[in-house]
Amino acid sequence: MRAALTASFALSTAALGVALFSARPAPAHGGREHVHGPHGHTHGAHGHAHGAPGHAHAGGVPELAAHADLRLLALPAPGADSDQNTTRQAVAEALVDHDFRRALAAAEAWVRAGRFDPWTLMAVSDAHLELGELDAAETTLQRVLDVKPTAPTYFRAAYLLHLRGRDADAISALELAVESTPRQAIRERAWTLTELGDVQRFAGELAAAEASYRRALSENPRWSGARVGLARCARARGELSLAAELLREAEAKPSTLSELALLERALDQPQRAQRTLQEALALGRSDDHYARMLAHALADHGVDTAEAVALARHELIVRPNAHTWDALAHALWADGQSAAALSAARRALSWGTQEPELLFHAGLAAAASGEREQARAWLSEAYRRDPGLTWHPQALALDTL
Q: Which domains does the chain have, with CATH numbers?
A: 21-66+149-400 (1.25.40.10)
Average model confidence (pLDDT) for the chain?
84
- pLDDT of 125 strictly over 80: yes
C-alpha atoms less than 13 angstroms from C-alpha of 132 in its C-beta half-sphere: 21
Q: pTM for this structure?
A: 0.85
Q: What is the mean pLDDT of residues 352-367?
A: 98
How far, in Å, CA of 312 to CA of 319, rounded? 10
Q: Is the dihedral of CA 282, 283, 287, 288 positive or negative?
A: negative
**pLDDT value of position 293:** 97
227-279 tens-digit pLDDT: 999 999 999 999 999 999 999 999 999 999 999 999 999 999 999 999 999 99
How far, in Å, CA of 362 to CA of 378, rounded? 7
How far, in Å, CA of 254 to CA of 296, rounded? 9
Cβ distance 174 to 26 under 8 Å? no
Confidence band for 113, pLDDT divided at 50, 70 and 90: confident
How far, in Å, CA of 230 to CA of 239, rounded? 11
Alpha helices for 47-166 (secondary structure H): 70-74, 82-96, 100-112, 118-130, 134-147, 151-163
Q: What is the mean pLDDT of residues 358-375?
A: 98
User: Cβ neighbours of residue 230 under 8 Å, at least 6 residues apart?
Assistant: 210, 213, 214, 217, 246
Residue type, 223: W
How far, in Å, CA of 87 to CA of 105, rounded? 10
Buried b (16+ CB within 10 A) or exposed e, 126-163: bbbbbbbbbebbbebbbbbbeeebbbbbbbbbbbbbbb
- pLDDT of 28 strictly over 60: no
How far, in Å, CA of 379 to CA of 361, rounded? 8
192-231 tens-digit pLDDT: 999 999 999 999 999 999 999 999 999 999 999 999 999 9
